[in-house]
Amino acid sequence: MIVGAAMTAVVIAAGIATAVSGGDPGSPKAFGSQPASTAGADASAATPPPGAASGTGTDSAPSPTVTKTTAPKDMKWGLDYSDTLTFDKPDELATALDDAKRLGMDYIRVDFGWEDYQSFANFPPDFGKFDNVVAAANARNLKVLATIDFPPPWARRDTCKDTSACPPADNALFAKFVKQAVARYSARGVHYWEVWNEPNIVAWAPLPDPVDYTKLLVTVSAAIRAADPHAYILMGGLAADHPSPGAPFITPYDFITAVAKAGGLKAVDAVAYHPYPDGDPASSKTFQAISQSPTSIITALNQAGAPNMPIWITETGANIPALIFNQPDQVKPQEANQVHLAQREAEVLASYPNVASFFWFSYQDVPSAHLVFGLRRGDGTYRPSFDALQQIIADAKKSQ
Rounded CA separation 34/136 (Å): 19
Q: Residue 8 contacts by C-beta under 8 Å, 6 or more apart in sequence?
A: 2, 31, 369
pLDDT exceeds cutoff 60 at 50: no
> What was the pLDDT predicted at 6?
33
> What was the pLDDT predicted at 36?
28
> What was the pLDDT predicted at 150?
97
> What was the pLDDT predicted at 25?
54
CA 141 to chain centre: 20
* Band of residue 400 on the pLDDT scale cut at 50, 70, 90: confident
Instruction: List the single range of 25-39, 235-249, 282-296 with lowest mean pLDDT.
Output: 25-39
Instruction: List the single range of 44-53, 136-145, 279-288, 302-311 with lowest mean pLDDT.
Output: 44-53
pLDDT exceeds cutoff 60 at 68: no
Mean pLDDT score, 183-209? 98
pLDDT exceeds cutoff 90 at 15: no
> What was the pLDDT predicted at 303?
98
Q: Residue 216 contacts by C-beta under 8 Å, 6 or more apart in sequence?
A: 167, 168, 171, 174, 195, 196
Instruction: Tell which residue, 28, 177, 102, has the closest CA to residue 375.
Output: 102
> What was the pLDDT predicted at 234?
98
* Band of residue 364 on the pLDDT scale cut at 50, 70, 90: very high
Mean pLDDT of the chain: 86
Q: Residue 102 contacts by C-beta under 8 Å, 6 or more apart in sequence?
A: 49, 51, 52, 390
CB 48 within 8 A of CB 388: no
pLDDT exceeds cutoff 60 at 357: yes
Which domains, and CATH codes, for the chain? 5-399 (3.20.20.80)
Q: Residue 311 contacts by C-beta under 8 Å, 6 or more apart in sequence?
A: 270, 271, 272, 273, 290, 297, 298, 352, 354, 355, 356
- Sequence letter at residue 166: C
Counting Cβ atoms within 10 Å, is residue 135 exposed (0-12), middle (13-18) or buried (19+)?
exposed
> What was the pLDDT predicted at 73?
55
Mean pLDDT score, 381-388? 98
> What was the pLDDT predicted at 37?
28
> What was the pLDDT predicted at 74?
79
Tell me phi and psi for residue 146, to 5 degrees.
-105, 130
Q: Is the peptide bond before 357 cis (omega within 30 degrees of 0)?
A: no
pLDDT exceeds cutoff 80 at 299: yes
Instruction: List the single range of 11-20, 122-131, 187-196, 217-226 with lowest mean pLDDT.
Output: 11-20
Mean pLDDT score, 261-274? 98
- Sequence letter at residue 296: S
Residues 206-252: tens digit of each pLDDT = 999 999 999 999 999 999 999 999 999 999 999 999 999 999 999 99
Instruction: List the single range of 59-73, 135-149, 243-257, 314-328 with lowest mean pLDDT.
Output: 59-73
pLDDT exceeds cutoff 70 at 7: no
pLDDT exceeds cutoff 50 at 131: yes
More confident residue, 61 or 303: 303
- Give 293-297 contacts, CB < 8 A, sequence gap 24+: 295/251, 295/253, 295/254, 296/253, 297/252, 297/253, 297/256, 297/271, 297/273, 297/354
More confident residue, 369 or 28: 369
Residues 132-183: tens digit of each pLDDT = 999 999 999 999 999 999 999 999 999 999 999 999 999 999 999 999 999 9
